[in-house]
Every structure is written in structure tokens, then in C-alpha cells.
Amino acid sequence: MTERYLGTPAAPAEPDVTPTGHVPEHLPSHLAISLWDFSWYTRAGVGEPFEDVDRAMAETVERGYNAVRICAAPLLVAGGLGLDELAHDLPIEGLGAAPDGGYYGRRTRWYDAPGGYRIDVRSRLFQLLESAERRGVSVILASWEYQQSTAFAGDPRWFEAIDAIPLAERYRVLGDAWDHLLEQIEAAGLADVVAFAELHNEVDFSILPPIADGGEAALERLRARHPRTLVTASYGKPPHLAMHRLSPALGVAQFHVYSYGVLDALQRRIDIRSEGTEGFPNAELRALLLPGAPTFAEYGRPVDWKLRATVVTDQMIYGYDWIDAAAWDSWLDAQYAEYREVMFREIESRVVAIAEWARWRGVPAVVGEGWVGYTPRDGRFEEGTHGLALAEHGIRTALANGVWGVVACSNAAPHHPMWADVAWQRRMNALVTAG
């Protein structure tokens, strides 16, 4: 009897666990990442998670992380834009006071910053790097400045300065700021703490042109001037079905993997992420609001420049501030079974696409954010049984495909409720650091 010939698959039968690209010898072989983002300076008031940055670093290490990813605010601290005074004395107010005596963003993840203090961002940045060096933590440096960082300031000058830069010049100015900041980090003897630097976070979801329009040139200049440091830019949603469209200038394949699935179904149903919708909020959203919630008109909105400085909308702020998180979670739990399989498959296929692109380009792959999506601060779907299973699937898939660094979950950081789940984070991070 002869065996039938059924063809030759284009992909290997088993995933390739070998590293996707070369990692410099002074860096860890695997990065277990906690997403500190911009919150290390926007949630640093008295009693807040980052009041003491060294304590936050110690808590991070206790949970098994060996890397943090932050907004280093390069345009503010090293951009040469006349912002030195603000860099050393930045007032933080969050999205500002609401008419009911509270503050906008109060129950909105990442935006729940009450503010009310001033901070020396530049000095605090170097304190963070020094703390990381003492504790054996690598730091991924990025910028969220053209996405939201400036909206948390109590002074519009930071936003106004970067907003005044013509669109075509923004990557050049970002590149110059990173050049100056990396020089300062090197002069302080802290260069080896830096895992890599990102020109900007999620260039596809920020107020920036396509990366080919100046971003590639900026990356090449940085690579030439700082050959010891990996440099790149990140994507919030890389073109998973056409990865060849990504720029060859990226020195790290640092991409994000969110599988909204059931969450997207709910968001579309209640129209929470739009702007300017007539009749907002609709009946479906009103049914999920907390008792006594103000109307959209009564609640108002942050001052105009703050909304211009961020990619979130006034409808999102109202909806997440006044949603009944338990009702939100109940809807997701009830509908999840219909979306479960596709969400697992989507996470796996996207992670594999990232890893294979990185292997083709010969660069390390990193999943710096993931796994479900943007939820209310008090929601627990992603922190619950379903969300944790999706996260573990993403982490294990990443490790099986040679990914260098992976986030436990975007919500696993000192400023999120998930920080309290110490055991799960330790277990996941032990998998990552063991490779």
C-alpha cells in the first residue's frame, strides 16, 4: 500500500520556539512586562499607586515582572520646545473637575486621575531608571504624547507646543527629542537599563502621519547615533492580514494584541466609543447606567483642549464614568460563549503573525499590550475566569513562537484593580522569564 501525497504545507507543523531576533547580551532573554504607561506621573499624588516610584518598582518585582513599559515624555523633558519649566514643575489635574463636584474620568480606566499635585517629570524619570537598575528591571521607553499624555496636565502649554508642530515634522521632532534623552540616559550610566525605545506608542492610533512620512528616517538616525539601543515604534493593530506592509525600519516588532470579540459587540450595541451621536445615550446604554446617573448634558465634558489632546471622546468618558460595572460584566458573561472560540483563535493568529513577521525581519518580537480591550475601571470581565484564560493563551502562544517580551495583561499594573491578583501574575511571569 502506498501513502497518499497530500502536499507540502507552507508553514511548519510545529511552532518555532527559537528567538525571533537577536537580543543584546546585556538584556534579559525574556521580558515579563508590566504596562506602567503614563500613570507613573499622572497617578503619583499622595496615597496614589505611584506616589513612591521605588515602592511601585518593588511591588512589580514581587509579582515576577522584570520589565516595565512607560511613557518617558521625551517631547516634554528633552524636546527643546521651551517646556523646561513644565518638565520640572508639571501640574497634574487629570481631565478636570466635573459639575457635580467630582472629576471627569473617575471610573474610566487610565483616565481616573484626580490630580491636585505638581511633579518634576524629568527628575522622576531618572529616579525610575535608577530604581529599575537597582532591582534588575528593564525599562521600555515610549511616548504617548500624541495620544493622551498631555491631557492630564493642568497647563495646556505642553499640548499646545506639540500640537503646533506641523504633521509632517512630528517624527523628526520626536526623533530629536529621543536623541537628546538617550544621550542624557547614557551620560547618567543608565543606558543598559533601557530594553528599547519606541519613537511613539501606537502610531496607527495617534495624531501622527504614516510612519513612512518621516518616522523611518527618524528611526535610522537614532539607530546610527545610539547603536547599543534598540529603537522602534509600536502599532495598536498591525495589519495581521498583510504584515508585509509594515515598515522595515522597525528594530523591534512591538505590537499589541487585543481581541475585542464580545466586548466589541457590547460597545457597538451601546455606541460608547463614538462622538457626536444624536440622541446619545441610547436606550441600551441607559439600561446599564448606575442609578442616579446625570444626563449627558448635565455631566458636560472636559475643556476642549483636553479632548483635542486625547483619542478618547466625551461619549466614552460619560459612559465609562456612569456605567454599572456589574451590569456590564453580566452582559459580557452571558454573551461570551458565542464569541469564545473566535477570540481564542484571534489572539493566537495575531501573535503568530507578529512572531513570524519578526522572524522574517530578524528582529525581536514583543507583545507590549493585550488581551481583551478597553473596559470600565471597575469591570472585572478581563480579570475574571474568561479574561485570564484568554491572557494565558496569548502568553503561552507567544512563548511557543519565540516572542521576546510579553505583557501579562494591559490591566496588570499598580494603577489597576488587577494588581491585587498577585498569585496569577507570579504564575504567568514565571512562565515568561523561564522561557
Domains and CATH numbers, the chain: 31-434 (3.20.20.80)
Q: Which of 309, 306, 320, 391 is nearest to 96 (CA)?
A: 306
Contact 77, 120 (CB under 8 A): no
Mean pLDDT, the chain, as a whole number?
A: 97
Please write the tens of the pLDDT for every residue from 342-354: 999 999 999 999 9
Report percent pLDDT > 90 for the chain: 97
Residue 2 has pLDDT above 70, yes or no: no
Q: Which residue has the higher pLDDT, 13 or 144?
A: 144
3-state secondary structure the chain: CCCCCCCCCCCCCCCCCCCCCCCCCCCCCCEEEEEEECHHHHCCCCCCCCCCHHHHHHHHHHCCCCEEEEECCHHHHHCCCCCHHHHHCEEECCCCECCCCCECCCCECCCCCCCCEEECHHHHHHHHHHHHHHHCCEEEEECCCCCCHHHHECCCHHHHHHHCCCHHHHHHHHHHHHHHHHHHHHHCCCHHHEEEEECCCCHHHCCCCCCCCCHHHHHHHHHHHCCCCCEECCECCCCCCCHHHCCCCCCCEEEEEECCCHHHHHHHHHCCCCCCCCCCCCHHHHCCECCCCCCHHHHCCCCHHHHHCCCCCHHHHHHHHHECHHHHHHHHHHHHHHHHHHHHHHHHHHHHHHHHHHHHHCCCEEEEEEECCCCECCCCCCCCHHHHHHHHHHHHHHHHCCCCEEECCCCCCCCCHHHHCHHHHHHHHHHHHHC
Please write the tens of the pLDDT for every residue from 317-341: 999 999 999 999 999 999 999 999 9
Q: What pLDDT, on a 0 to 100 scale, did the predictor assign at position 212?
A: 97
* Main-chain dihedrals φ then ψ at residue 349, nearest 5 degrees: -65, -35
Q: What pLDDT, on a 0 to 100 scale, did the predictor assign at position 14?
A: 87
Which triple of cell numbers denotes residue 251?
528594530
Please write the tens of the pLDDT for every residue from 398-434: 999 999 999 999 999 999 999 999 999 999 999 999 9
**What average pLDDT does range 69-90 have in this prediction?**
98
Kindly report whether the global pTM for this prediction surpasses the value 0.85. yes
Q: What pLDDT, on a 0 to 100 scale, did the predictor assign at position 93?
A: 98
**What average pLDDT does range 53-69 have in this prediction?**
98
Q: What pLDDT, on a 0 to 100 scale, did the predictor assign at position 67?
A: 99
Q: Which of 253, 353, 248 is nearest to 23 (CA)?
A: 253
**What average pLDDT does range 283-288 have in this prediction?**
98
Contact 341, 308 (CB under 8 A): no
Please write the tens of the pLDDT for every residue from 136-182: 999 999 999 999 999 999 999 999 999 999 999 999 999 999 999 99
Strand 67-71 with 31-37, pairing: parallel
Least confident of 3-12, 127-136, 139-148, 199-208: 3-12
Residue 356 has pLDDT above 70, yes or no: yes
Residue 1 has pLDDT above 70, yes or no: no
